Amino acid sequence: MAIAVVAVTAGGAGYGVGHGSAGGNAARKSSAGARPVAHPCTLLTSAVVARSLATTIDGISSADGSCTWHGHALGSFTGAQPQLMLGAARGVTRTQFLKDFSTSIVAGSAGTMVRAPNPPVHGVGQVAFWTSMGQELNVWDHGTVVTISSAFVTSPLAVEKRLAAAVLARLGH
């Protein structure tokens, strides 16, 4: 059985066709044997997300095993709004996590695509990587993967680390 961990960000800040490819609004990464965490929208409260995004929450959507909180629009001049996406799956080996999230495909010279390492993140989970192109934090802890992606927030990595730690605590890690 394969499960997809889906990361959605606003305004083209995410990935396209697959993990680490530039452009698009979503990333999908499958790991054999992984299973989604039921009801990801229950892993964080809207109050916690609102404080992290520094806005009120206008809506929540759930699709493909992920949850997205939509903040209030940044102003009347734009439809841009802070957002936070959360996905979580269990049953992922450390080896599979490293294979899936330690590198990204990025633009190289002369229009080529190259594999580049994602920077490791310390202080959350057993292993974590930051993908700056998609402002996405991927965390592995005892077989559980938590993926958090934010858009239109100040200090996205700090926000995502704090929320990933809260999700892991909620899951008993």
- Residues 25-68: pLDDT tens digits? 223 444 566 788 878 999 999 999 999 999 999 999 998 889 99
Q: Compute the half-sphere exposure of residue 69: CA atoms within 13 Å on the CB side of its CA.
A: 28
pLDDT digits (tens, 9 = 90+) for 70-101: 998 888 888 888 999 999 999 999 999 999 99
Query: Does residue 23 register a pLDDT over 70?
Result: no
Looking at residue 12, its pLDDT comes to 26
Report how many domains make up the chain: 1
Domain boundaries, position 36: 2-170
Q: Are strands 26-32 and 35-36 parallel, antiparallel or unpaired?
A: unpaired
Picking from 66, 69, 64, the residue whose alpha carbon sits closest to that of residue 84 is 69
**pTM beyond 0.85:** no
